Amino acid sequence: MEKATQPKIIIAIDGHSSCGKSTVAKQIAQELGYIYIDSGAMYRAVTLFALRNKLAADEQVDEQALIDRLGEIKIDFRLSPENSRNETYLNGENIEEEIRQLPVSQHVSPVATIGQVREAMVALQQEMGKNKGIVMDGRDIGTVVFPEAELKIFMTARPEVRAQRRYDELTAKGQLVSFDEILANVIERDRIDSSREISPLKQADDALILDNSDITREEQLDWVMQQIQQMISA
Ligand code: DC
């Protein structure tokens, strides 16, 4: 696909946890030469800060204490020279690996329900997208962060399929995890993400739905690139 002559757009990818949003978002960014931003990583970074500072434990978060310390949190993304991946940094430290582990996953949903946390993250996300040419994935990208995004995709897959993918990912990294625990975590995060008062996970009216339970990654990428091509050349 021609990169230079085509107008740059914003592509918003929302959907349930562990359904491969980041995989497809990264592929699109690579194909188009766009920036990829994982907005979930930003909520995970705030969660890691809360855990390290004893503001969260046992799936509970001390909301006010975290709000009071939001000014101490600086999040940015830097391209790794080793693997060309955009990695997450918290106050100058690479935290890309640590934010994917279970303690963060178990505490991130309550952190992401805090209004002031969301306001701070949304402002940062909008700043990152102001020059377009960006693919961002998350839960509220097409509804709240970039309601004017030219292309919105809402991704989903059956919970068991998503839990299996996450299980495979973690065990491949040598982590000892239980499938049932992961499935329970996937289901619980769906519940919290969809039922929270502020910016709940919901499909934007103008989003295209992509259920990838029964399709391959190649089929998925073909479909998405077709939608982008149609959008850009319309
Ligand atoms: O996509 P993920 O699993 O890394 O997201 C981590 C958590 O952050 C998840 O519980 C939902 C929340 N999140 C959110 O509320 N809004 C976003 N834009 C992205 C993630």
Asked whether the predicted pLDDT for residue 93 surpasses 90, the reply is: yes
pLDDT top residue among 96 and 234:
96
Q: Are 73 and 46 in contact (CB under 8 A)?
A: yes
In a domain, 172, yes or no: yes
CA 189 to ligand 1: nearest atom: 10
Asked if residue 112 has its Cβ within 6 Å of ligand 1, the reply is: yes
Q: What is the pLDDT of residues 50-71, one digit of tens each?
A: 999 999 999 899 999 999 999 9
Q: At what angle do helices 39-52 and 102-112 cross, to 10 degrees?
A: 100
User: Amino acid identity, residue 127?
Assistant: E
In a domain, 231, yes or no: no
**Domain harbouring 207, CATH code:** 3.40.50.300
Q: What is the pLDDT of residues 111-156, one digit of tens each?
A: 999 999 999 999 999 999 999 999 999 999 999 999 999 999 999 9
Residue 187 pairs in a beta bridge with none
User: What is the structure's pLDDT at 5?
Assistant: 67
Asked whether the predicted pLDDT for residue 40 surpasses 80, the reply is: yes
Asked whether the predicted pLDDT for residue 74 surpasses 70, the reply is: yes
- CA 215 to chain centroid, in Å, comes to 21
Residue with tokens 């306001």: 119
In a domain, 4, yes or no: no
Asked whether the predicted pLDDT for residue 2 surpasses 60, the reply is: no
Q: Which residues contact 232 (CB under 8 A, 6 or more apart)?
A: 6, 7, 9
Asked whether the predicted pLDDT for residue 10 surpasses 60, the reply is: yes
Q: Which domain holds residue 147?
A: 9-226
Asked if residue 196 has its Cβ within 6 Å of ligand 1, the reply is: no
In a domain, 87, yes or no: yes
Q: Are 13 and 34 in contact (CB under 8 A)?
A: no
The strand ranges marked E within 104-227 are: 134-138, 151-156, 208-211
Asked if residue 96 has its Cβ within 6 Å of ligand 1, the reply is: no
C-alpha of residue 82 to centroid of ligand 1, in Å? 26
C-alpha of residue 111 to centroid of ligand 1, in Å? 10
In a domain, 13, yes or no: yes
1 — pLDDT class (breaks 50, 70, 90): low
Asked if residue 49 has its Cβ within 6 Å of ligand 1, the reply is: no
Mean pLDDT of 77-90: 90
Asked if residue 138 has its Cβ within 6 Å of ligand 1, the reply is: yes
Count of structural domains within the chain: 1
CA 141 to ligand 1: nearest atom: 18
CA 21 to ligand 1: nearest atom: 1
In a domain, 95, yes or no: yes
CA 109 to ligand 1: nearest atom: 10
